[in-house]
Amino acid sequence: MLGVPETMKVLFVEGRDFEALARLARRYPYPYRLLAQPEEERYLLEVWGVGPDLVEEATRVEGVRAWTFELLEEAWCGDEEGR
């Protein structure tokens, strides 16, 4: 494992409003990715290392679904552990 804290949470938020998801992500200092599925007009926000503040706010955004997962393992292509 690549130095992943034991309790790292990853938040996934799915919705159809790109701007709402982007605003949510930009309000906090956590690294994030915002992915698009253009043919479905659907977006997925992925935020790493989130705290309870962002998780709580995400659940209050209208028209989205939100999940949190605990990171168990991480590897990058070419890493000894990722082969």
Flag whether 3 is in a domain.
no
User: What sign for the dihedral angle of Cα 12, 16, 22, 23?
Assistant: negative
Picking from 42, 37, 48, 39, the residue whose alpha carbon sits closest to that of residue 21 is 42
Residue 54, pLDDT > 60, answer yes
Tell me, what's the pLDDT at 44? 98
Q: What share of the chain is helix, strand, coil (3-state, %, to 5)?
A: 30, 30, 40
> Looking at the 3D structure of the chain, how many domains does it have?
1
What are the residue ranges of helices labelled H in the chain? 18-26, 52-60
Flag whether 79 is in a domain.
no
Flag whether 1 is in a domain.
no
Give the strands of the sheet with 65-70, arranged side by side: 32-37, 42-48, 9-15, 65-70
Domain hosting 49: range is 9-71
Flag whether 76 is in a domain.
no
Q: Two tokens at 2? A: 């690549």
Band (76; pLDDT cuts 50, 70, 90): confident
- State the pTM of this model: 0.81
**CATH number for the domain harbouring residue 55:** 3.30.70.600
Residue 5, pLDDT > 60, answer no
